[in-house]
Amino acid sequence: MKYTKKLFFYALLLAFSAVTLHAQNTATVDLNTKYKYPFAFSLEYRSLSPLPQFGTDYGGDFLTTDFSASAFLPLDFLPVIQPFARIGMITIAPLDPDDVDLIKFTNTQFYASAGAAYKYYFSKQIEIGASLGVGLSQVYYEDIMLDGQQWGQLNFFTELGANLGMNLSYNVNLSFNPALRFTTNLNETLPQFDGFSIVLGFAGSYRLGEDPDAPQAEIRSIKAEKLKFPAVFAPMQSYYSKNPITTITLKNIEKLAVTDVDVSFFQAGFMDTPTKAISLDSIKAGASVDIDIFAIYNQQVFTTEGITPLTGEVLVEYKNNGRIAHQKFSVSYDLYDKESLTWDDDRKVSAFITPADSALRNYSSYVRQTCKDYTVSGFSPELQTAMQIYYALAELGVLYQRDPTSPFEAAQENPMIVDAISLPRNTLKRATGDCDDLTVLFCSLLESVGIETAFITVPGHIYSAFKTSTPSKNYRLLHPEKNMTLNIDGELWIPVEITLMGEADFLTAWRTGIEEFSAHDDNPEVRALNRTREAQETYRPVMLTEKDLGLQYGDRTKIIRDFKADLDKSITMIIDDYETEAKSQGSKGSYNRLGITCAQLGKYNKAEQAFNSALTMDRNYLPPKINLGNVYFMRGEYQNALRLLHGAEKSITDAGKISGSSYSSVLLSISKCYYELENFDKANEYMKTLAEVDPAAAQQNSYLASGESGQRASDRSSRRDLMFADE
């Protein structure tokens, strides 16, 4: 008896220790859900011993054995709770078969009970638990007649048990089951075996179902349909992160909904982690859902050459009836290298425009430094830079060459054709390219110096355009002909037929670009002007590694000569246009405007003549006096400039017109003259007055109030920014 009690308490202590250890377990997998089974039955052998401490005494030493069969039905929504039903037979016989006083109490009990068990997986192999049940037993005495028959009393019992199980496999379990049992007879006869007793049991169980860890038991609730991937293109790397590569269909083929569904896509070697597609709360039984697949590729996609066949994986994680499941679907597709695309969306070409490429930035910087001493400050800086780069590329020998394998017109007509576009650095090094190659090169170089660009597509062709800082109303400061520029939202753009590089001058390429655009005025839907920076919000530029191309940048002398030739032509056209207007109108205002234009374009002698012509018509006409003073300033004749400007100042103050723009112009020009003469006190004095009259102009030229001669050289371009007086 004492050994039985010790074994009972050791079992309880072991069960308690297991629970305590499990509290420290940080595993995220719910083992009870994962290893749940639909039904189990068991056979058990048990021994019963009375507890005298609770007043239970059989009146002698008896051997009490119990053989039973049980069935367990785990709850689907809570598998740790398992209702059970049990039938069994208990035999009670004295240990000494010759004890005539006890032999008559030999009996057999047939019983049935029901209850609920709590079983918790501590690991896949070990489980612990408890149970509570109630039942009835019918007693049969061999030598005692009760009420004239051998069938004895009817007993009621209840039982509180513990369980410590060892899972030999998913289906087979052996367990040690100690319990505390209370029995009472309902007939109030022979209460000898009533009371509390200790039960020690050993059971073997068989559980139905498949081991979820077995290969054949892997959950396959999801079926993939329409699992087809198109080819992907390395230049579209950033696009695929926000726009789907394709759409697939997943179907739940189970009779129950699957929950907590996560879908992602992974491409080994070209992704750092899987790219999440979507998370769904559930997919109903038999339902299908369309899933957009995204891809965040790493920089390795830019290292491939030609076409690279790939096999990726669509990863689906979900819960089936509470069990976590993983499925993988393999997909095969082609990866095209960084110089490939299809023309289903013209904006894709913006991915090849790479202004951040250090090789391009170095080259455009060289070109601008070469021509900086020959630029005209009053003429469009964007137009001058475009001219410089156009002629620099021509000097480098860059020429148009039609693509023999996939000409642009064929690729444009059939969006399924894969076209090859050279990266600007490669075109620059190779010195040849078709229309799309040269377009992205020219746009890249302009963008690298901060000039906004666009690319124009018309049937069978693509070419460049760039934005000037000239408002549309001042188109004559770019070209006398209004139709030589494109007015886009009040901003003037200049198209350039870049394929003429090396064959025609810039002005011809400009005019050709306009003609190609205007040719479709009656059918404008066939042409498009795509602004590079807007397109790159969707198609970001290809990422490139730093690399020195080892270029010979060309003959500086020829670049300068060609640039100056076109610059002089442009300036001459503009001035001739204003001069024709002045002669035609014969008004002082028209000659004053001619003088302003000449002064801004660096033609100071013609400007002086124009202003004097205006003054000849009206000696009291103030604007040409102010502007003539500005011309003297620009020539460096500061004393002559002050003489005229102070005269204009007196005329304005005498007339009481100190709130107008003419007065601001005079004050600024006088301050500039004193600054150049290093009379900083006087320069500051006039700046203070200017700040009261025109705060914006004062702020823009704040260096004039600094009183420091060291500012003069660094602010030379600012000092040229004079305010001319117009009507």
275 plus 360 within the same structural domain: no
CATH code (residue 78): 2.40.160.20
Residue 482 clears pLDDT 60, i.e. is over it: yes
pLDDT tens by residue, 324-376? 889 999 999 999 999 998 888 999 999 999 999 998 999 999 999 999 999 99
* Domain-ending residue, one of 336, 352, 380: 336
Element (H, E) at 370: helix 358-371
Residue 578 counted as domain residue: no
pLDDT band for 27, please (50, 70, 90 cuts). Answer: very low
CATH code (residue 536): 3.10.620
Strands 151-167 and 126-141: antiparallel
Residue 213 clears pLDDT 80, i.e. is over it: no
pLDDT tens by residue, 182-198? 999 888 777 878 899 99
pLDDT band for 610, please (50, 70, 90 cuts). Answer: very high
Share of the chain above pLDDT 70, in %: 90
> The dihedral of CA 364, 365, 371, 374: what is its sign?
positive
What does the alpha-carbon distance between residue 433 and residue 413 come to, in Å, rounded to a whole number? 20
Rg (CA), the chain: 48
CATH code (residue 639): 1.25.40.10
233 plus 161 within the same structural domain: no
447 plus 322 within the same structural domain: no
47 plus 189 within the same structural domain: yes
Residue 12 clears pLDDT 70, i.e. is over it: no
Contact 447, 465 (CB under 8 A): no
Q: Which residue has the tokens 């009259």?
A: 693
318 plus 355 within the same structural domain: no
Residue 35 clears pLDDT 90, i.e. is over it: no
327 plus 356 within the same structural domain: no
| Mean pLDDT taken over the chain | 88
**Structural domain that includes position 255:** 219-336
pLDDT band for 176, please (50, 70, 90 cuts). Answer: very high
CATH code (residue 240): 2.60.40.2550
- Mean pLDDT for 43-53 is 91
pLDDT tens by residue, 272-288? 999 999 999 999 999 99
Res 25: pLDDT: 44
Residue 490 clears pLDDT 80, i.e. is over it: yes
| Identity of the highest mean pLDDT range in 104-108, 232-236, 710-714, 718-722 | 232-236
Half-sphere exposure (CA, 13 Å, Cβ side) for 387? 30
pLDDT band for 411, please (50, 70, 90 cuts). Answer: low
Res 716: pLDDT: 44
pLDDT tens by residue, 116-162? 999 999 888 999 999 999 999 998 887 777 666 667 789 999 999 99
Res 5: pLDDT: 53
* Domain-ending residue, one of 528, 554, 580: 554
Backbone region of residue 44 per phi and psi (left: phi > 0; alpha: psi in -120 to 50; beta: other values): beta
Where is average pLDDT lowest: 228-232, 292-296, 406-410, 534-538?
Answer: 406-410
What does the alpha-carbon distance between residue 694 and residue 688 come to, in Å, rounded to a whole number? 10
- Mean pLDDT for 296-321 is 93
Residue 519 counted as domain residue: yes
Residue 571 counted as domain residue: no
Residue 421 phi/psi, 5-degree rounding, is: -120, 125
Res 22: pLDDT: 46
- Mean pLDDT for 201-205 is 95
360 plus 438 within the same structural domain: yes
- How would DSSP label each residue in 124-162? SSEEEEEEEEEEEEEEEESS--BTTBSEEEEEEEEEEEE
- Mean pLDDT for 481-485 is 96
